[in-house]
Amino acid sequence: SETELMRYVKKLGRRDISLVDSMISLGSCTMKLTPAVAMMPLSLSEFADIHPFVPADQAEGYRELIDALSKDLATITGMAAVSLQPNSGASGEYTGLMVIRAYYQSRGQGYRNVALIPASAHGTNPASAAMAGMRTVTVACDERGNIDVDDLKAKAAQYASELCCIMVTYPSTHGVFESRIREIVDIVHDNGGQVYMDGANMNAQVGLTNPGYIGADVCHLNLHKTFAIPHGGGGPGVGPICVAAHLAEFLPGHSLAETGGRSGITAVAAAPFGSALILPITYGYIKMLGESGLRRATEMAIVNANYLAVALKDEFGIVYTGETGRVGHEMILDLRDFRKLYGVECADIARRLMDYGFHAPTLSFPVHETLMIEPTESESLAELDRFVESLVAIKRECEQIRDGEADAEDNPVKMAPHTAQEACADTWTHPYGRERAVFPLPWIRANKFFPYVTKIDGGYGDRNLCCTCGTLYGGE
Ligand SMILES: *Cc1c(COP(=O)(O)O)cnc(C)c1O
């Protein structure tokens, strides 16, 4: 019944720590607010009830929105043309690479198939290159996290006759603005390749700089990151690609609708404009913020990240900073010596944060034994301070382990997270108190989030298929 379904959905929702609870600091994911006002159009029948294949004259309003949004995205990225078809960032990468491939084929250079990929790249980059039939060659990074320009020069020259492209992220997934980015672009162009810019980090660029200005030939955007579409849990995404003029004619077409370039590659999604229903979110976000608002959002995202970096650097260390000592819109906290110093794993800290009411940051990506943190512009100073206070408190708990004030194994950090079921049980065997376990800081009482599942043996779970059938709805 509707009653039961409603309660079932709410029950699942209660088990999920989300933006309605606290900041989600997942680095590289840009978990910014989706404003309620931008979601409203999704309930309008005029957007919700139109089939992607209706005759064009029945979807003129949609087309107007698609064209206006494409124009705005072209302006923001400094590019000539846009395809909204790809349904995710990774799908955008694949599409962009196929467009580059078609461009080379049209010039009789279809043999160009080497993709240079920096060691710092997101895993989707080499995966997409492989999907597009390319050979990947890794470019080293230096000790400051930047692309090793000498290595790039050598590899670009070595593979010049087969060079297809570089896939470069800016600011890089190491969280800093690569100061030699234009030199990197020139090296690839001089050796006959195209520059694919992974635009997942556009939250640090919008209104300040753009891929076109930097010299990229194609980039993708993650509208579900930078442009406020909600994400997580595998929901629909939008990963448009924006291209320079010479690539526009190869943008993907569709057999049932007029879209793409004159010599467009085949469709990369079932629907001609991808996840069109959620485009009004991005459209509204851009139109409501306007030029100065978008720039302000970028500035605040960078300022917030740098605030956290300064507040946390003495407790944890920041793995990479730029030449000015600053980070971009995200940073990597260094926990690589925590195992040695405190006997604590990076994942223990991530789990303990749940007891403090926070979703874990990105764990061990792109550097092992680190936490990657991206606050976004959506968070207030008070929320940033709560987050810092929590991480510092967890650091103190680690120090108590080191100093022998807490048991080496049975301590609040290694036993985290603590569920309501455990905290309220008649028996409690830990050497530390219940209060310490679930209310480690005073303000947590006012808005406690209880994780639903305690620490599990992930390795065991990966190797042993366990059936939860029957117990799933029963509550065990
Ligand atoms: C998120 C991300 C991607 C992939 O985007 P999806 O929409 O998750 O497919 C690619 N590169 C970087 C740097 C990212 O952060």
Cα 28 to ligand 1 centre (Å)? 7
Asked if the model's pLDDT at residue 12 lies above 60, the reply is yes
Q: What letters, b where the CB count within 10 A reaches 16 and e where it falls short, cover 314-344?
A: eebebbbbbeeebbbbbbbbbbeebeeebbb
Q: What's the per-residue H, E or C state across 335-356?
A: CCCHHHHHCCCHHHHHHHHHHC
- Over range 43-50, report the average pLDDT: 94
pLDDT score for 336: 97
Radius of gyration of the chain (CA): 24
CB of 89 shorter than 6 A to ligand 1: yes
How far apart (Å, rounded) are the C-alpha atoms in residues 27 and 330? 6
pLDDT score for 394: 98
Cα 434 to ligand 1 centre (Å)? 40
CB of 122 shorter than 6 A to ligand 1: yes
CB of 226 shorter than 6 A to ligand 1: no
Residue minimizing CA distance to atom 14 of ligand 1? 200
Asked if the model's pLDDT at residue 476 lies above 70, the reply is no
Indicate the average pLDDT of the chain.
Answer: 95
- Determine the 3-state secondary structure of 196 from DSSP: strand
Candidates 85, 120, 124: which one to mutate for ligand 1, based on the most atoms within 8 Å of Cβ? 124
How far apart (Å, rounded) are the C-alpha atoms in residues 166 and 161? 14
**Quick check: 25 and 31 in contact, CB under 8 A?**
yes
Candidates 29, 122, 268: which one to mutate for ligand 1, based on the most atoms within 8 Å of Cβ? 122
Asked if the model's pLDDT at residue 475 lies above 70, the reply is no
pLDDT class of 474 with cuts at 50, 70, 90:
low
pLDDT class of 31 with cuts at 50, 70, 90:
very high
**208 or 144, which is more confident?**
208
Cα 220 to ligand 1 centre (Å)? 9
pLDDT score for 67: 98
Percent residues over pLDDT 90 in the chain: 94
How far apart (Å, rounded) are the C-alpha atoms in residues 172 and 188? 17
- Over range 126-136, report the average pLDDT: 97
- Over range 176-190, report the average pLDDT: 97
Cα 50 to ligand 1 centre (Å)? 29
Question: Per DSSP, what are the bridge partners of residue 168?
Answer: 197
- Over range 120-129, report the average pLDDT: 95
How far apart (Å, rounded) are the C-alpha atoms in residues 293 and 206? 10
Q: What is the value of pTM for the model shown?
A: 0.95
